[in-house]
Structures are given as C-alpha cells and as structure tokens.
C-alpha cells in the first residue's frame, strides 16, 4: 500500500456519541500507519474521533480474506492512538450505517467481518441498528481496580476484546478517566483492558462509564455495554442458558442508551443508533506534513 497524493476521502459518524473517522478504501490501497491514524483522530489538529473505521473488502485484506465467503466487507478498526483493536460494538453499527449511506447495502441484514469474527447486523427502518455480538467468555481470573484510594473487584468479561467490570456506588467514584485506572494483577490483561464502572438505575437498568484502552474515557462503548449486561446478569443470578429465557438490560452510557439482550444460546444482541454526520476530503499536504 502507499499513501496517495490525492485528497483522502473521509466521513465522520457516531453511535451513542462514540465517534469515528471513517476511511473508505475498498481495495486496501491506503497506507494508514499508527501515527497517521492518531493524527486523524486528534480532536484539535485532526478530524477527531474515538477511533478509525477503515472500510475494506474482505477479499482485499490479508487479515480478512478467509472470511470473504461470509462477509463482503471488513471493519479494520483502529483505536485513537493508532493501535489495532479486535472489535468495536458502536463502531460496527456505524460501519454498517456507512455501507448503507454509500449505497453498498440496503436496510436489512448485512454481515461484517472483524478481527473477532463475522458480526451480523440488522439496520431497521426506524434508524436503530442491531448487532449480533457473539458470545461472552467469562474467565475466572479477575482484577482489583483502584481509583483515589477506593478499590473494587472487577469481573473479567471477554467480548472478543477484554473488559473488567466494576460495580460502584457512584459513577463519580471512577474519577478522571483520561488515564487508565490501575488494576492488579496486571498479568490478567497482557494486552490492556477496557474498564467499566457501573451503577444500578432500576430493574435490569444500569449506567456506566468506561476507560477504553487506546482512547481514554469515551462517551460510549458497545462491547463494554455488552460486557456490563452480562456481568450484571450474573451478579443478579440471571443466566439465560440455565433458564431458557432471554435476559435484556438497558445500559445508559454518557452518549445515550443501548439495549442489550443475551439469548439462551449465549448470543448477545446490541441495539442502538448510528449516525453519519459529515463527509469530505483531507488535504494530502496535511497528510504528508
């Protein structure tokens, strides 16, 4: 791949205010080194975003071509610092919305390849987007998270990417989430972790704040909301696999509300909005500076 001397096309979108720079690149022809991704996601000197959605056909990407028989499009997701991530729940909703916006798909069902497998997405005509997020893994080893002298045990939940879910009395106890809260033992998460702080709002209704690895605090985290719903269900003694009954939680994030359902077969569905807000071109001289 090479960085083009032509203006770079981009779009901007968000899902419950978890916002993304979108770079369409069907043929995987654009070079996106970590430093350039970080510059694009910079809120003062770039476009600004919690991450970047690189839109590539699965057949054109070496990490995705094995999934080409299941999904036409690959979400090559990058964190705001330029690092590669396995999956982003809000990101995949915005990714699907972009495919509709660009005329690649119509409202209805679409499969999207990600580094944590193929995700099945449904775009409803009312604007909501539902993603089948896969099954949660619940490793037994957890951590203790500490903020400003307070400590909480955090449940280990893996949604294709790692999460540590801590239940607190007040979301303010999460403190300043510009930096990652310390946790121990650190070896539980050798590649870093997304840390969620959760409070109860009512029956099967919680609210959360999150520090996302590679992005600091974000307004929303889709995989985090799923991890929170699963951890809360287990705390509440609800296990759909044991009862044969789906369990649904409403999860408030800083940027809105997501609805998470865990089915008896373990599949987790997330429903929420996804919006394209702008599109344009980036000056190639800025890219090469």
Q: Judge whether 126 is annotated as a binding position.
A: no
Q: Judge whether 90 is annotated as a binding position.
A: yes
Q: Tell me how many degrees the CA angle 243-244-250 measures, rounded to the nearest 5.
A: 85
Q: Which of 11, 40, 88, 168 does the annotation list as catalytic?
A: 88
Q: Judge whether 18 is annotated as a binding position.
A: yes
Q: Would you call 226 a catalytic residue per the annotation?
A: no
DSSP the chain: -B--SSPEEEEEEEETTEEEEEEE-TT--B---HHHHHHHH-TTTSS--SEEEEEEEGGG-TTTGGGTTT-SEEEEEEETTS-B-S--HHHHHHHHHHHHHTTSS-SEEEEEEETTEEEEEEE-TTSEEEEEEEEPB--S--EEEEETTEEEEEEEEESSSEEEEEE-S-GGGG--TTSPPPEE-GGG-TT--EEEEEEEEETTEEEEEEEETTTEE-S--HHHHHHHHHHHHHHTT--HHHHSS-EEEEEEETTEEEEEEE-TTSEEEEEEE-EEEEEEEE-HHHHH-
Q: Judge whether 176 is annotated as a binding position.
A: no
Q: Judge whether 28 is annotated as a binding position.
A: no
- Give kind and range of the element (H or E) at residue 198: strand 194-202
3 state SS of 247: strand
DSSP 103-152: TSS-SEEEEEEETTEEEEEEE-TTSEEEEEEEEPB--S--EEEEETTEEE
Q: Which of 206, 221, 274, 282 does the annotation list as catalytic?
A: 221
Q: Judge whether 161 is annotated as a binding position.
A: yes
Q: Judge whether 158 is annotated as a binding position.
A: no
The binding site consists of: 18, 79, 89-90, 161, 194, 212-213, 222-223
The binding site for substrate consists of: 18, 79, 89-90, 161, 194, 212-213, 222-223
Q: Which residue numbers are catalytic? A: 88, 221
């Amino acid at each position: 791949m090479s960085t083009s001397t032509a203006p770079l096309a981009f779009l901007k979108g968000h899902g419950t205010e978890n916002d993304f720079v979108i770079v369409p690149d069907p043929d995987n022809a654009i070079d996106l080194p970590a430093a350039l991704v970080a510059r694009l996601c910079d809120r003062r000197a770039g476009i600004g975003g919690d991450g970047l959605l690189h839109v590539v056909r699965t057949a054109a990407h070496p990490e995705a071509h094995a999934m080409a028989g299941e999904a036409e499009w690959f979400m090559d997701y990058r964190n705001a610092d330029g690092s590669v991530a396995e999956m982003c729940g809000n990101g995949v909703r915005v990714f699907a919305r972009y495919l509709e916006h660009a005329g690649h798909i119509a409202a209805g069902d679409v499969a999207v390849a990600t580094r944590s497998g193929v995700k099945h997405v449904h775009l409803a005509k009312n604007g909501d987007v539902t993603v089948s997020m896969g099954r949660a893994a619940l490793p037994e080893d957890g951590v203790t998270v500490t903020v400003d002298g307070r400590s909480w045990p955090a449940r280990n939940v893996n949604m294709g990417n790692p999460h540590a879910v801590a239940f607190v009395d007040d979301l303010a106890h999460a403190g300043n989430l510009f930096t990652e809260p310390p946790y121990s033992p650190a070896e539980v998460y050798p590649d870093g972790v997304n840390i969620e702080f959760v409070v109860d709002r009512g029956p099967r209704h919680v609210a959360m704040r999150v520090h996302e690895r590679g992005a600091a605090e974000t307004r929303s985290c889709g995989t985090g909301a799923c991890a929170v719903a699963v951890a809360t269900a287990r705390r509440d003694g609800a296990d759909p696999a044991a009862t044969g009954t789906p369990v649904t939680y409403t999860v408030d994030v800083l940027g809105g509300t997501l609805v998470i359902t865990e089915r008896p077969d373990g599949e987790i569905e997330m429903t929420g909005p996804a919006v394209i807000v702008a599109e344009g071109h980036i000056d190639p001289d800025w890219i090469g500076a």
